[in-house]
Amino acid sequence: MISTPRRSRSTLSGERWLRGLLLAATLVSTVAVFSILGFLVYFCLPLADPARLAAVASCTWQPFQGQFGILPMVVGSLSLAAGALVLAFPMGVGICCLAHGLAPRAVARALLVLIHFMASIPTVIYAFVSVFLLVPLMRQWFERGSGFSLLSAALTLAVLVLPTIVLLIHIRFEQIDPPLRLASAALGFSPAGELLWVILPLSGRGLAAAAVLGFGRAIGDTMISLMVAGNAPQFPTSMLDSIRTLTAQIALVVATDSQTPAYHSIFACGLILFLATGVVSLTIRRLRLPSRESLFHAKNA
């Protein structure tokens, strides 16, 4: 007869404590997120007035003239995040391909160590180095403007989001069954062919998740856009134009003001950023990979 070991009273009470502790942590996190949303919505309530809403959702930011339009910042944030992603994503895919078969093992290992290290560098360091190295170079090369531009910020931000993208794609590549990779090699695929025709097609959703998370990381960054993008509240017409992002706008206004109506417009900026991040998270959740089990259930349905 099989007997189940009786659990002692102390083990049971320990488990209860642990469960309670985890539940409390979950509640605190959930309440915090919803409180932030509630707080932002509450402070944005004055914008329910159509005249005020029109003032904030306009194209000109001239607070001394009573114009509090944040649309240039919305466009600035979106174009900077998109620019950084366009630069970083192909680079990330390339690095992962190098690390998973194209480069010799020692090089691949060194590359991944470097990427892990890059992830730990504070943002302000990237921005700081960019101000003193990249910005003067841009000024020299293009002989236009101050060098503090959408392009400079996008290049710097691309370096910042690169580890996020690489590590996500790397994890997806690693999840692909090693036996499947061996079978591909046995069929005669070269390492490049294996990556191109087996690994990359199987990583579609992982690649999309990496792009979405990279975008989320880029749109949420403050330091690089604040220090490198030039902070001109205008719609960019070229990559060499200065821009101001929503995050930089919040930082600048909070640092200089706390009384005027301009101060209150930053809550709208915050709400837009919060919602953008929320959309990114939800998109990632929807991109969850179909597991082998779900295919199994589909087969047996």
Partner 1 sequence: MERADLSPREPSVQIADLAVHFAGRAALHGINLTLEAGQMTVVIGPSGSGKTTLLRAINRLNECFPNCRTVGTVRIRLDGRWVDAYRDFRPVAELRRRVGMVFQTPNVLPCSIEKNLSIPLIRVAGLSKSRLPGRIEWALREVELWDEVKDRLRHNALTLSGGQQQRLCLARALALKPQVLLLDEPTASLDFRATQKIERLLLKLRDRYTILAISHSLGQTRRLADRVIVLRDGRLAEQFDREHLEDAETFEALLEEIF
Q: Interface residues with partner 1 (CB under 8 A)?
A: 105, 177, 179-190, 193, 197-198, 201-202, 292, 295-296, 298-299
For residue 28, the SS3 value is: helix
Name the residue nearer to partner 1 (CB basis): 51 or 298. 298
Q: How far is the CB of 181 from partner 1 (least distance, A)?
A: 8
Whether 172 contacts 207, CB under 8 Å: yes
Amino acid in position 118: M
Q: Tokens 């989001």 — which residue? A: 161
Q: How far is the CB of 103 from partner 1 (least distance, A)?
A: 14
Name the residue nearer to partner 1 (CB basis): 196 or 279. 196
d(C-alpha 255, C-alpha 257), whole Å: 6
Phi, psi of 241 (to 5 degrees): -80, 150
Name the residue nearer to partner 1 (CB basis): 44 or 169. 169
Name the residue nearer to partner 1 (CB basis): 107 or 133. 107
Q: How far is the CB of 171 from partner 1 (least distance, A)?
A: 17
d(C-alpha 143, C-alpha 134), whole Å: 14
d(C-alpha 277, C-alpha 270), whole Å: 11
Q: Tokens 């690169």 — which residue? A: 162
Name the residue nearer to partner 1 (CB basis): 154 or 198. 198
Q: How far is the CB of 198 from partner 1 (least distance, A)?
A: 6
Query: What is the Cα Rg of the chain in Å?
Result: 24
Q: How far is the CB of 189 from partner 1 (least distance, A)?
A: 6
